Amino acid sequence: MKAHYPILCLALFLLLACQHRKEERAWQERLRQADEQAEIRRLRKAAIAAKPSADSALQMEAYRRSREGRIKIEQETGLGSQFGKGLLPSSLNNNQPLISFMTGPCYGECPQYHLYFWANGDVLYEGLAFAEPMGKRECKIDPKKLQTLLANWTPAFETWQRYYPQGEEPLEGFPFKAISLKLPQGQKIILDYHDAPKGLIQLEKSIDSLAKASFDFPMKTIF
């Protein structure tokens, strides 16, 4: 029996060594998984921290392009020079709409589109940027709706200023909204960046709502 002691001791030693090695590998695997989780958390935090910067850069680039577009619109329509040329593109001047509405760019992805309403009920929509749908669409509405809108808003429209905010430059990043009504004394345009009277804002919403109710497709607009 004593002769087997060395063999038994060696077997016990090997068994303990194997168990220790197994536990060591398990411990190393747990350390590896912990390191992987720590790296994933680090990358996630870095991505979260970088996202505002990335979003800001994209917005700045979008605004730069939009601002260039706004300057072009103001030059073409006269909105940047005391409204000298009027709101409408030259192709529409000979058949002036009763109501015109356009939105301009902002710091971000504000929908840019034009709306024109004619006395006979013709309506033209043109999506320019960040609007849905893009491109031109036409429809027909009851002319009485336009006459009612004009009758309700003409007295107030005649009293509002041509530019808001008054007496100061508009804040950068705000979209402009331009409204034109065909009044008895001629066309009047109001350019609204911000700080406009509540009534003017309500008129803008009314025009926008009339367009949404007129077309048979969903519209992504500024309101």
pLDDT tens profile 85-104: 445 565 665 677 889 998 88
Which pLDDT does position 57 carry in this prediction?
Answer: 62
Which pLDDT does position 182 carry in this prediction?
Answer: 87
Which pLDDT does position 64 carry in this prediction?
Answer: 60
Interhelix angle 198-214/143-159, nearest 10 degrees: 160
Which pLDDT does position 50 carry in this prediction?
Answer: 55
Strand-strand pairing, 177-183 and 112-117? unpaired
Owner of token pair 């001047």: 93
Which pLDDT does position 141 carry in this prediction?
Answer: 92
Residues of the chain short of pLDDT 50, as ranges, are: 77, 79-86
How far is the CA of 86 from the CAs of 74, 106, 161, 220, in angstroms? 10, 22, 15, 26
Do 101 and 88 form a contact (C-beta atoms < 8 A)?
no
Ranges assigned E (strand) in the chain: 99-103, 112-117, 122-129, 135-140, 163-164, 177-183, 186-192
Which pLDDT does position 51 carry in this prediction?
Answer: 55
The alpha carbons of the chain give a radius of gyration, in whole angstroms, of: 34
* Cα–Cα distance for residue pair 67/58, rounded to 1 Å: 14
* Cα–Cα distance for residue pair 153/201, rounded to 1 Å: 12
* Cα–Cα distance for residue pair 30/38, rounded to 1 Å: 12
